[in-house]
Amino acid sequence: MTNIFQAEGLGKTYPGVRANDDVSFTVDAGEIHALLGENGAGKSTLVKMIYGLVRPDDGQMTFMGTPHMPADPRAARAAGVAMVFQHFSLFDALTVAENIALGMENPPPRPELARRILDLSQSYGLPLDPARRIASLSAGERQRVEILRCLLQNPRLLIMDEPTSVLTPQEAEILFATLRQLARAGTAILYISHKLDEIRTHCDRATILRQGKVVGTVDPRAHSARQLAAMMVGAEMRVIDRTGRKPGARILTVNALATHPAGEGVTLKNLALALHSGEILGIGGVAGNGQEELLLALSGEIPSAPGTVLLEGTDLSAAGPETRRRAGLLAAPEDRLGHAAVPEFSLIENTLLTSASRQGLARHGIIDHTAARAFAERVISAFDVRTPGPGTAAGALSGGNLQKFVIGREVLGRPRVLVVNQPTWGVDAGAAAAIRQALLDLAASGAGIIVISQDLDELLELSDRFCALNQGRLSAPRPTEGLTIDEIGLMLGGAHGMEVGHVPA
């Protein structure tokens, strides 16, 4: 194997944070190289330096034998580096092909581009219609657009920042087949993920970062997930405690819930569910089958017919998000940057967005800054959000730390019912365990929780009952205890993009 990329002594300091400190490592042609580390360890900062988005304060890089210090992403792309981001950078109103054309230096005529997209998507098993509008795509499909956009550039080094966090296990397998295919052809892949099992199965080497420093480069196959996690955090992981929950009275009733979104998107079809106090209901399924719509219909962002959403007997179907929040029905959506939080707003301002009324952070339209700051500080400390302080802009937080903040803000909002979509997306193993524990503790205190997730292990770990959402329809719930992966496969069966045949017998 030949060394294609080398970093020597890279450093980057942000106000109050040494994000990268003396980072040296190499990536070989044809290898899938994982970057591992806790939230905030400096992984994104490192790859942004390679991709020309951030300029290092110190150190050098070499790429394909020549010094590499790209002034911007365009220069990095010209040198042969491509990157798939953790957050999507797509225009909702445009089609797949239009978005891809926007990122190209010299886009070919539209019909030819559409053909190339189709060809690539077929040869890499990533189905995508070039004429679809981005607004109608699920998170998983949006990611495919980003991946295909990169593959069209024929990169020598492909950087992927948590690419599988929005994919189902089956879609992730397909992606890894794609990456293997690329690696065999000599492309180097630098791969950020928090999924340790995935890294152990698919990556050739792993470089571990802790607090901005390289701890070491290891063969991930030679270590257990637990050992890798311990190297990342420098300590052992905690064990989840599921005790103390007693499902009580019915708290949320959803009846004949149907949505009719304008334009594209999934319509919910005649959904019914009952949630009890102290209970966690898990909803599994492939993204794009109505998960986001269900959250919006429960949070009040999509109104529904009278009698369809009842909280403790009160009909909230016509109520907007603020009225529902006051009543105790809180939600944490999947898209943390843009939907759950405003990137340019400080964490204090972001707490005001959803918590002003429940926490008494504003009176008669006047913001109580002291109270807002104190609440933001409570969230930061209770959920171990790594940030210089509550005045930091949400967009400056690492992905996982923002996720902890968003979940923490709602959990500390003392909900009667909390609806969360992908609660541990992009969160490191230790923090994911802490978030899951917080949800279990919240249920133990009497709240009802709906967890929507693509992570089956997470749903099995958390939920008392499980149901599947498939093309806008919800299956009948089943108790999680004793439920086998086969049975779950059947419940999810027929969901688009997921075949029962993939579920191990």
- Cβ(255)–Cβ(235) below 8 Å: no
Least gap, CB of 400 to ligand ATP (angstroms): 3
Angle (CA) 501 291 419, round 5°:
125
For the CB of residue 492, give the shortest distance to ligand ATP in the complex, in Å.
Answer: 28
Report the residue number, 316 or 337, with the smaller CB distance to ligand ATP: 337
Give the integer Cα–Cα distance in Å for 184 and 71: 30
Contact region for ligand ATP (CB under 6 A) — 127-135, 218-226, 258-266, 394-402? 394-402
Q: Using the rule CB under 6 A, is 207 a contact of ligand ATP?
A: no
Query: Rounded to the nearest 5°, which phi and psi values hold at 263?
Result: 70, -140
Residues whose CB falls within 8 Å of the CB of residue 256, separated by 6 or more in sequence, listed in order = 270, 271, 272, 305, 307, 308
Spatial distance between the Cα atoms of 77 and 154, rounded to a whole number of angstroms: 10
Tokens of 483: 């439920």
Q: Dihedrals φ, ψ of 110, to 5°?
A: -50, -45
E strand spans, 250-313: 250-257, 271-276, 280-284, 309-311
How many residues of this chain interact with ligand ATP, rule: CB under 6 A?
20
Q: Does 337 contact ligand ATP by CB under 6 A?
A: no
Length of the chain measured in residues: 505
- Give the integer Cα–Cα distance in Å for 409 and 375: 8
Beta-carbon contacts of residue 382 (< 8 Å; ≥ 6 apart): 408, 412
Binding of ligand ATP by 43 (CB under 6 A): yes
Q: How many C-beta atoms surround the C-beta of residue 67 within 10 A? A: 8
Work out whether 401 is an interface residue with ligand ATP (CB under 6 A).
yes
One DSSP character per residue, 399-442 reads HHHHHHHHHHHHHTT--SEEEEESTTTT--HHHHHHHHHHHHHH
Piece of 34-42, 285-293, 377-385, 447-455 that binds ligand ATP (CB under 6 A): 34-42
CB of 314 to ligand ATP, least distance (A): 38
Tell the smallest beta-carbon distance from residue 401 to ligand ATP (Å).
5
192 phi, psi to nearest 5 deg: -95, 130
Q: Closer CB to ligand ATP, residue 330 or residue 397?
A: 397
Tokens 């499909």 -> residue: 141
Taking contact as CB under 6 A, which single stretch among the options 37-45, 221-229, 235-243, 334-342 is the one that binds ligand ATP?
37-45
Stretch that binds ligand ATP, among 42-50, 181-189, 363-371, 497-505 (CB under 6 A): 42-50
Closer residue to ligand ATP, CB minimum distance, 121 or 401: 401
Q: In the numeric block, which tokens belong to residue 403?
A: 């996720």
**41 vs 447 by CB, closer to ligand ATP:** 41
Token pair of 69 as six digits:
């210090």
Examine residue 39 and tell whether it contacts ligand ATP (CB under 6 A).
Answer: yes
- Based on the shown chain and the rule CB under 6 A, indicate whether residue 489 belongs to the binding site for ligand ATP: no
What does the CA dihedral 106, 111, 114, 116 come to, rounded to 10 degrees? -70
Among 10, 26, 45, 178, binds ligand ATP (CB under 6 A): 45
Does residue 400 belong to the site contacting ligand ATP (CB under 6 A)?
Answer: yes
Q: Which is nearer to ligand ATP, 397 or 443 (CB)?
A: 397
Distance in angstroms (rounded) separating the CA atoms of residues 7 and 447: 49
**Choice from 214, 229, 397, 434 touching ligand ATP (CB under 6 A):** 397
Closest CB to ligand ATP among 42 and 423? 42
Cβ neighbours of 88 (radius 10 Å): 20
By the rule CB under 6 A, 345 interacts with ligand ATP: no
Position 265 contacts ligand ATP (CB under 6 A): no
Tell me: does residue 160 bind ligand ATP (CB under 6 A). no
Question: Could you tell me the smallest distance in angstroms from the CB atom of residue 210 to ligand ATP?
Answer: 10
Question: With binding defined as CB under 6 A, does residue 390 bind ligand ATP?
Answer: no
Question: What gap in Å lies between CA 101 and CA 108, rounded to an integer?
Answer: 8
Least Cβ distance, residue 22 to ligand ATP (angstroms): 15
Contact flag: residue 422 with ligand ATP (CB under 6 A): no
Residue with tokens 């930091």: 392
Q: For ligand ATP, which residue of 4, 7, 36, 41 counts as binding (CB under 6 A)?
A: 41
Is 17 near ligand ATP (CB under 6 A)?
yes
Residue 404 in contact with ligand ATP, rule: CB under 6 A? no
| Integer Cα distance of 175 and 84 in angstroms | 13
Please state the closest distance from residue 490 (CB atom) to ligand ATP, in A: 35
If one asks whether residue 491 binds ligand ATP (CB under 6 A), the answer comes out as no
Residues 424-483 that bind ligand ATP (CB under 6 A): 428
Least Å distance, CB 231 to ligand ATP, is 14
Residue 39 CA to residue 323 CA, distance in Å, equals 34
- Which parts of 368-387 interact with ligand ATP (CB under 6 A)? 386-387
**Contacting range for ligand ATP; rule: CB under 6 A; set: 130-138, 251-259, 345-353, 392-400:** 392-400
The residue ranges that bind ligand ATP (CB under 6 A) are 14, 17, 19, 37, 39-45, 386-387, 396-401, 428
